[in-house]
Amino acid sequence: MNLQPIEMLEKNFFRRDALTVAPDLLGKVLVREKNGEEIRFVIMEVEAYDGEEDSACHASRGRTPRTEAMYGPAGFWYVYLVYGMHYMLNITTGEEGYPSAVLIRGAREVTGPGRLTRALSVDASFNAKEASKDTGLWIEEGTISPSLGEVEKTPRIGVDYAGEWASKPYRFVWKDNLKC
DNA sequence: ACGATGATGAAC
DNA sequence: TTCATCATCGTA
- Show me where the domains of chain A are located: 11-174
Average pLDDT over residues A110-115: 97
DSSP states along chain A: ----PPPBP-HHHHSS-HHHHHHHTTT-EEEEEETTEEEEEEEEEEEEEESTT-TTSGGGG-S-TTTHHHHS-SSBEEEEEETTTEEEEEEE-SSTTS-EEEEEEEETTEESHHHHHHHHT--GGGTT-BSBGGGTEEEE--S----GGGEEEEPPTT-GGGGGGGGS--EEEE--TT--
What number is the average pLDDT over the span A14-34? 98
Mean pLDDT of the region A86-109 = 98
Percentage with pLDDT > 90 across chain A:
93
Pick out residues whose CB falls under 7 Å from strand C.
A 47, 49, 56-58, 70, 78, 82-86, 88, 90, 101, 103, 112-116, 156-159, 161
- The pLDDT-based confidence of A80 (bands split at 50, 70, 90) is very high
Burial of A98 (C-beta count, 10 Å sphere; 0-12/13-18/19+)? middle
pLDDT in tens, A137-150: 999 999 999 998 99
A168/B1 CA-to-C1' distance in Å = 27
What is the reported pTM?
0.95
The residues pairing with A154 across neighbouring beta strands, listed in sequence order, are A171
User: What does the pLDDT read at residue A2?
Assistant: 62
pLDDT for A82 equals 98
Task: Quote the pLDDT of residue A178.
Answer: 56
At the topology level, CATH places domain A11-174 in: 3-methyladenine DNA Glycosylase; Chain A (3.10.300)
Position A6 scores a pLDDT of 82
The mean-pLDDT minimum among A4-8, A68-72, A83-87, A160-164 falls in A4-8
A108: exposed, middle or buried (C-beta count within 10 Å: 0-12, 13-18, 19+)? middle
- The pLDDT-based confidence of A180 (bands split at 50, 70, 90) is very low
Q: Mean pLDDT over residues A71-83, rounded?
A: 98
A11-24 burial, b if ≥16 CB within 10 A, otherwise e?
eebbbbebbebbbb
Q: Taking the CB of residue A168, how many other CB atoms lie within 10 A of it?
A: 19
Closest nucleotide to A82: CA versus each C1': C6
